[in-house]
Structure 1
């Protein structure tokens, strides 16, 4: 039977840590403003924060990772990349996580025993070049692989145990086929006792079976089915008729 596990039930800002001025960044971002008022609950092993550039999905993902004490430079790889004690983001400073008993035990244990990882596109490239062959990471010489192959080697090595995993736009280096392999890996994680929170603008990744999808945009955030996502609608219409989009950009 699949193990439906969550380590984090809710991300929220306590009353005593609410900002004095909600008109300063990042609280001017609609999804952050909504989180400050309502919090964000997690009910599924795999949750996607889906939205376009500038919607705040990455801001949420990074703060959630920080709330679980996963470094924004790449989880436990922080010591290898020169930031063992990073400064938190403005949202990460005030955001708190309501954990389950399992999550609380993981957070209270030794840092080296913590099962979790934060992968963000901005730092993953350097990680694939610098950490291949380092004990406790991955065996492949990822510097000799393509970016997509290197990313998949990292995913397979670092996301293999039950734990709390946060990903920020991991699709950046992936082809269509590689994206499908990541879909399979994320689904397997959710079925075997891990919890995943992933910020993405990929309709492929967001199609993980049984995942909870939170659409992020100018409205703030709300839960939708995959086929209700705005980006899925745009991709469908674009692939059916590219000219309907391109003529507005290419006509002089």
Structure 2
């Protein structure tokens, strides 16, 4: 692992964060007040749309020096997307292994930020064995995972399952496990019960309560998928007409 804790380091003289977005989001308020402690090489951020999990993931990537638009660490931002207000004040307590990356210049940092909505364009800027334009969306994701997720660093992913089949998600789980065993750290915002089942990973559920660590079997998304697959009509009768 590279990071033990993430926290908000406000500019000198500012005792509290702002009153607007994203500071009003419960998980961000808790981050400001308490910070976020990492207890495992792989951390999943899980929650409903609008809960703030992607906001957290993006800020973690930006605070570490990854391109806000998506892509590799270690060089000047290639995208036009500016660092968010939260990402600009996020700070880290590094582990001994991560101290050189966190406290050194950007060129020492290693990792990758993959965000589903900008992934294809971001991957087009990377040095890959094949152009993402010559393959499907899911295949390009897997190529990036295989070729760019290969050394100790911080790997932040925002809903990587968006383009992946069931078997491809399983491959990603295996890659996450292998990366973590090599000293890398992964933070993944997801809706996937398949990804979050990775043994040994920490699951942080975000919502109106803020943030809390939960077990896989306790997740609402796991319960809903289990119930849906058992009896789809129990859910569909509430959304279909006629």
Q: Cα gap change, 1:199/1:160 in structure 2, threshold over 3 Å: closer, same or farther?
A: same
Question: How many Å separate the matches in 1 of 2:105 and 2:29?
Answer: 34
Check the 8 A contact 2:17/2:32 in 1, yes or no. Answer: no
Counterparts in 2 of 1:96 and 1:112: CA distance versus 1, 3 Å: closer
C-alpha distance in structure 2 between counterparts of 1:36 and 1:224, whole Å: 21
The normalised TM-score by structure 2 is 0.91
Q: 1:18·1:36 contact (CA, 8 Å) conserved in 2?
A: no
Structure 2 runs not aligned, ≥5 long: none
Looking at structure 1, the residues matched to 76 and 104 of structure 2 have their Cα atoms a distance apart, in angstroms, of 18
Segments of 5+ residues of structure 1 without an aligned counterpart are: 1-5
Tell me whether 1:57 sits opposite 2:47 in the alignment. no
Is residue 64–residue 97 contact of structure 1 (8 Å, CA) maintained in 2?
Answer: no
Q: What is the aligned counterpart of 2:67 among 71, 83, 106? A: 71
Distance in 2 of aligned mates of 1:108 and 1:35: 21
> Which of residues 160, 163, 171 in structure 1 aligns to 2:150?
160
How many pairs does the alignment contain? 239
Q: What pairs with 1:94-113 in structure 2 (closer than 5 Å)?
A: 94-113=89-108
Greater alpha carbon shift after TM alignment, 99-108 vs 169-178: 99-108
1:194 aligns with 2:190: no
Compared CA separation, residues 18 and 45, structure 1 to 2 (3 A): farther
Name the CA distance, whole Å, in 2 between partners of 1:98 and 1:154: 28
Partners of 1:143 and 1:20 in 2: CA distance: 42
Residues 89-132 of structure 1: per-residue CA shift (max 9 Å, x gap)? 1211222111123222013445334211111111112234x24x
Q: CA RMSD in A?
A: 2.0
